[in-house]
Amino acid sequence: MNLRNIAIIAHVDHGKTTLIDELLKASGMFRANQQTEERMMDSNDIERERGITILAKVTSLEHDGTRINIVDTPGHADFGGEVERILNMVDGVIVLVDAAEGPMPQTKFVVSKALNLGLRPIVAINKIDKPEQRADEVLDEVFDLFANLDADEHQLDFPVLYGSAKNGWMATDPDGPKDSLEPLFDMVIKHVPAPKVEEGEFRLLATTIQSDNFLGRILTGRIIAGEVTPNMAVKALSRDGSLIEQGRISKVLAFRGLERAAIEKGEAGDIVSIAGLQKATVADTICAPAVTEAIQAQPIDPPTLSMTFRVNDSPLAGQEGDKVQSRVIRSRLLSEAEGNVALKVEEAQGTDAFIVSGRGELMLSILIENMRREGFELGVGRPQVVMQKDENGKRLEPIEEVTIDVDDEFSGIVVQKMQERKAEMVEMRPSGGGRTRLMFHAPTRGLIGYQSELLSDTRGTAIMNRIFHEYQPHKGEIASRNTGVLLSNGNGEAVAYALWQLEDRGPMMIDPGTKVYEGMIVGEHTRGNDLDINVLKGKQLTNIRSSGKDDAIKLTTPLRLSLEAALSYIADDELVEVTPQSIRLRKILLDPNDRKRAMRASKKAS
């Protein structure tokens, strides 16, 4: 059968997963009356809740005698490692661009990787039915983007389709016909080359890894040469060609629609999954015993942000989760790093703690969210930037390209706040509809915790996108949080009367009846220093009746921080305590005397 392997790449929320839904329906994979879900490829619970794609996934469909393997890729920059890996499996890409927003930072990042590999793009301008669509301008922006990324003549001569994935149509003209996705299928078969097949025995580059309760480790990749069958003897080679293990293939699986079905034989050019090996992982070569050279894997961009994961040692530890030991946390983190090449795990010296490095706050917070849903309890420290050194020993820090779309009236405050964070503005232009597009080069350090502040400053109307740009010399000190915190000075349950009396000290973060302990953060102080308060003190009751009514206790709604907001809120001497049911903020040192000694010691050292 004829084969085509393609990836659909785009910025977050430009319609990749919706387009795949419609392609599967148009190919006849479902009965006419069959119930199907929206965003069928987003199988993970968090993907469904947040409406984003986190893991790259493969599906397959047939059209006019040609099997088309399609890879759905994440659209968020934090999951760029997923995209970099899967581009090795495909021979062409569909670049999906929103007809109103145009090419955004993540589009630029993934397209540059695809162009460097020599892949020829098909540009699909989506959401053409939007009233604010500007398809002609967006097409010019896409061409300029490709030119800036040093695309060759063949890549610049890209075909263009217009359409609406949600309404199930694509056409070579913005005005239609608006009845099918047939033009997209025809374009893929005509424009994307068949997979290149090399001579020789079986070779496959493992691109993604999954764990299965029955089959064990499942490795997915494209067969470069030869063919694979169940019970076949194979070996695994690392990137440098050294032997990892030898074994036999227990099962060969291929994608047929949304399901993965067992097949008798996988042939060169096809994307398959194999089971049976115990140690091989992503970027390893699975091959016949006679093969000696490993397949070259694409280098992955380094992590830019790290967090410290600790064993939860709070007084409430172990009451909500059942996975609290350091060995269990270590095992879970190592298994995550095995399947996610953009993640790096190191053990911190002398403590039950692990330093986990990744691409961004979202990537690490989703790892934490998955772990808490699995029953883990953790203490997580403030995100720290991963520094590097140049040949002269000078410190270099990661700089990100930040694009902010904001209403014109709020552009001034955004520019001011970004400059306070040592950002340099590189572009400012109108983006239509009374909005301005601002582009900055900003240190990653300065962006930690800025998302929530940006939404407050712009009344929730700003959209920020960021992507790693390069390493540059250290920009100097950046002012951090300018408020202190309110700390509980005892263990127990918070009392409404005490919270009411303390409200003038600052906004609270807890409700009455919440379990608290000494050193736990219960609110934000209105001043710059930390303050120990008693949230356990009830009203003194006497047998003397007071004249008039008692004051009715009316509490202000407390601050409720999401996991990402909590991680960006804490200071260097604080932790986020994460359990299956709660997210608490606390000091690393719970005892106030220990905190004072540590503060005196740091002043002497400085």
Q: What is the pLDDT of residue 31?
A: 47
Which of 71-80, 123-132, 491-500 comes out lowest in average pLDDT?
71-80
574: exposed, middle or buried (C-beta count within 10 Å: 0-12, 13-18, 19+)? buried
Find out whether 15 is annotated in a ligand binding site: yes
3-state secondary structure 444-483: HHHHCCHHHHHHHHCCCCCEEEEEEEEEEECCCCCCCCCC
Find out whether 129 is annotated in a ligand binding site: yes
Tens digit of pLDDT for each residue in 40-84?
444 556 655 555 655 667 888 888 888 888 887 775 655 666 676
Which of 25-29, 250-254, 590-594 comes out lowest in average pLDDT?
25-29
Task: Tell me the pLDDT band of 469, cut-offs 50, 70 and 90.
Answer: confident
* DSSP H or E stretch at residue 3: strand 2-9
Given a contact cutoff of 8 angstroms between Cβ atoms, the answer to whether 75 and 12 are in contact is yes
Query: In this structure, what token pair is assigned to residue 365?
Result: 């917070």
Find out whether 18 is annotated in a ligand binding site: yes
Which of 35-44, 284-293, 473-482, 572-581 comes out lowest in average pLDDT?
35-44
Which of 19-23, 283-287, 565-569 comes out lowest in average pLDDT?
19-23
Going by C-alpha positions, the residue among 263, 295, 275 that lies closest to residue 219 is 275
Q: What is the pLDDT of residue 295?
A: 84
Comparing 79 with 540, the larger pLDDT belongs to: 540
Q: What is the mean pLDDT of residues 233-242?
A: 88
* DSSP H or E stretch at residue 37: none
CA distance to 209, 261, 311, 559, 586, per residue, from 522 (Å): 41, 52, 21, 10, 8
Comparing 136 with 478, the larger pLDDT belongs to: 136
The yes-or-no verdict on residue 189 having pLDDT over 70 is: yes
The yes-or-no verdict on residue 583 having pLDDT over 60 is: yes
Q: What is the mean pLDDT of residues 192-202?
A: 87
Q: Domains of the chain (ranges plus CATH)?
A: 2-191 (3.40.50.300), 203-287 (2.40.30.10), 389-473 (3.30.70.240)
CA distance to 16, 21, 46, 464, per residue, from 42 (Å): 11, 10, 9, 23
Q: What is the mean pLDDT of residues 183-206?
A: 88
Query: In this structure, what token pair is assigned to residue 320?
Result: 């909500």
Q: What is the pLDDT of residue 39?
A: 45
Going by C-alpha positions, the residue among 221, 234, 206, 235 that lies closest to residue 338 is 206
Q: What is the mean pLDDT of residues 404-433?
A: 88
What is the distance between the alpha carbons of residues 79 and 603, in angstroms, rounded to a whole number? 40
Task: Tell me the pLDDT band of 579, cut-offs 50, 70 and 90.
Answer: very high
Tens digit of pLDDT for each residue in 340-396?
777 889 888 777 889 998 877 878 888 898 899 899 999 999 888 888 888 788 888
The yes-or-no verdict on residue 33 having pLDDT over 50 is: no
Instruction: List Cβ neighbours of 330 (8 Å cut-off, separation of 6 or more).
Output: 347, 354
State residue 216 phi and psi, 5-degree precision: 80, -135
Q: What is the mean pLDDT of the chain?
A: 83
The yes-or-no verdict on residue 252 having pLDDT over 60 is: yes
Q: What is the pLDDT of residue 183?
A: 87
Query: In this structure, what token pair is assigned to residue 305?
Result: 């942000």
The yes-or-no verdict on residue 14 having pLDDT over 90 is: no
What is the distance between the alpha carbons of residues 178 and 276, in angstroms, rounded to a whole number? 47
Find out whether 16 is annotated in a ligand binding site: yes
Task: Tell me the pLDDT band of 577, cut-offs 50, 70 and 90.
Answer: very high
Q: Angle at CA 146, nearest 5°, toward 140 and 149?
A: 140
What is the distance between the alpha carbons of residues 494 and 534, in angstroms, rounded to a whole number? 9
Query: In this structure, what token pair is assigned to residue 56?
Result: 């790259």
Tens digit of pLDDT for each residue in 379-393?
999 888 888 888 788
Find out whether 126 is annotated in a ligand binding site: yes
Instruction: List Cβ neighbours of 568 (8 Å cut-off, separation of 6 or more).
Output: 361, 383, 448, 449, 450, 451, 452
Task: Tell me the pLDDT band of 109, cut-offs 50, 70 and 90.
Answer: confident
Find out whether 128 is annotated in a ligand binding site: yes
Q: What is the pLDDT of residue 114?
A: 84
The amino acid sitting at 230 is: P
Q: What is the mean pLDDT of residues 275-284?
A: 85
The yes-or-no verdict on residue 176 having pLDDT over 80 is: no
Tens digit of pLDDT for each residue in 256-278?
776 788 889 888 888 898 998 88
The amino acid sitting at 217 is: R
